[in-house]
Amino acid sequence: MRLQLIAAAAVVTSTAYADGELSMRGVYYKERSTRVIQPMLDGIFDAGPSGTVTGHLLVDAITSASASSGAAAAEPFTENRYEGGLGYTHEFAGPEESILDVFRLGADGKYSREPDYRSFYIGGRAEAELAQKNATVALGVGLSKDTINNEGAQTPMGGPKLLCDNTQAVADQTECPLDTISMFTSASHLLSKDALIGVSYDIAKIDGYTSNPYRTVITTGGPVAEKHPNERLRQAFAISGRYYITDSKTTLIAAYRYYWDSWDIHAHTPEVRAIQEVGSTIEAGVRYRYYKQDAAFFWAKRYPDPATTMIDYLTDDPKMSPFDGHLIEAKLALYGETFGFEGRWAGARFEGILEYIVQNNRFGNAVVAHAALTLPFEY
Amino acid sequence: MVCGAVRALVFVVTAAIATSGCAVVKAHQRENLAKRAMTKDRDAGESRFGQHERGSREGADGGTGEPGGGCGCN
């Protein structure tokens, strides 16, 4: 019951006046050739009786054997990526005696910068709770403006020249744009006092430079710069369900996602999670996720010499190859009351996550570890 | 392809609105539905890192309600 009250308090944090939550998280990621350390700070604050402000800051400290993200032969590199984001959501009450209970409008933006990649995103979202809050529908749009350059592989002769537009004959650029327009819609519905279901659909249209500036493809005629199509249309449909078993205080979550795009990649992702309340202030969870995709239409194990054979696109990206993988995760969350803390620290949430990823392609297996502290406060 | 996408979009929204008339759970029956694990069991930072990691390793990025960005690993 105590855990339930704390959890309920966390849920209503976003609507109670002058409440907030600050979360500090550190993530360690390690795969065969890349290590990432990412400290981050997330905040959510009430702004008046109907507004909520969210914000985040993070640093990605990346050390990799290759700037070309999985290339067979490349120079080691180290770089930092900085990201900040801000969002605001305003809640409106629906008209009395109508099916519309609550309506929310929100907007958010984020900016990310690393030496060879800049990204600016802005998005809007509308959400409505209907039929005595038994159903929620949402619709969102987003726009990303990215810029890629060749800073990561500078030599006294300069970095590799980029072919921003595939219709050009010669690669002579040092910086290329990449634009994304995206849209999503989602809906969820309560099925009973212990169960709910949700569906979502996403679409994103990408225009611009989608290759890696540093990756080269080994052909029978020698190494050639990677060349991906300039356009990509990505779509995904997902469905998920949650069920609470009262007797054992266990939450079961099942999800499935199907993805397809104009590069002929199709992917299936089923996932199951179980979260167990242990005592009154502890939650323990396990998760299993399976992922399987087929290859992009232009992916090949070996390419002929482009000088003698007509080839539109070439790739050495492991993400374009057919592969599958498994993820297993263990998660433990403890509230401050577990340790006898009082006041605001009683509601503090300590969280640890350990993931192991098996991936059957050149990226190989990976380990991810999270440590986080979330502290509620009033102001 | 775009027509298919619009049809899927219309289907999801229509299905949601059509089923929203089935008010089966009253407010006082939502004790279990209000639990953290039944609402949002992942913090924003956890979800964001997971999305970024998948975008770096898998070809099927997206489908999470928010586009990625800021990763030089197309």
Residues of B with CB below 8 A from A335's CB?
none
pLDDT tens string for chain A (379 positions)? 444 444 444 444 444 456 999 999 999 999 988 899 999 999 999 999 999 999 999 999 988 876 555 444 456 678 899 999 999 999 999 888 888 889 999 999 999 999 889 999 999 999 999 988 899 999 999 999 999 998 877 677 778 899 999 999 888 899 999 999 999 999 999 999 999 999 999 999 999 999 988 888 999 999 999 999 999 999 999 999 999 999 999 999 999 999 999 999 999 999 999 999 998 899 999 999 999 999 999 999 999 998 888 899 999 999 999 999 999 999 999 999 999 998 888 999 999 999 999 999 988 999 999 999 999 988 8
- Kindly indicate whether the domain formed by A82-378 is annotated with CATH number 1.10.287: no
Q: Testing the interface with B: which of A130, A287, A329 to mutate, by most B Cβ within 10 A?
A: A130
Between CA A26 and CA B52 the distance in angstroms is 15
Binary contact (B20, A56; C-beta < 8 A): no
Q: Which one of A119, A190, A359 has the shortest CB-CB distance to B57?
A: A359
CB distance from A5 to chain B under 8 Å? Answer: no
Backbone angles phi, psi at A274, to 5 degrees: -135, 130
Q: What is the model's pLDDT at position A214?
A: 86
More confident call, A153 vs B18: A153
Question: Contact at 8 Å (CB) between A376 and A38?
Answer: no
Nearest to B11 by CA among A187, A153, A76, A318: A187
Mean pLDDT of chain A: 90
CA atoms within 13 A on the CB side of B44: 19
Binary contact (B58, A257; C-beta < 8 A): no
Burial class (CB within 10 angstroms; exposed 0-12, middle 13-18, buried 19+) of A200: buried
Q: Which one of A187, A202, A244 has the shortest CB-CB distance to B62?
A: A202
CB distance from A176 to chain B under 8 Å? Answer: no
Q: What is the model's pLDDT at position A10?
A: 46
Binary contact (B41, A236; C-beta < 8 A): no
Compute CA distances B71 → A81, A204, B61, whole Å: 8, 17, 12
Between CA A24 and CA A32 the distance in angstroms is 27
Binary contact (B63, A237; C-beta < 8 A): yes
CB distance from A210 to chain B under 8 Å? Answer: yes
pLDDT, average across residues B39-54: 90
Q: What is the model's pLDDT at position A343?
A: 85
Q: What number is the ipTM of this complex?
A: 0.89
Which run of H or E residues covers position A118? strand A117-130
Question: Contact at 8 Å (CB) between A113 and A148?
Answer: no
Q: Which one of A99, A212, A374 has the shortest CB-CB distance to B20?
A: A99
**CA gyration radius for chain B?**
17
Q: Give domain limits for chain A.
A: 82-378
Q: What is the model's pLDDT at position B6?
A: 57
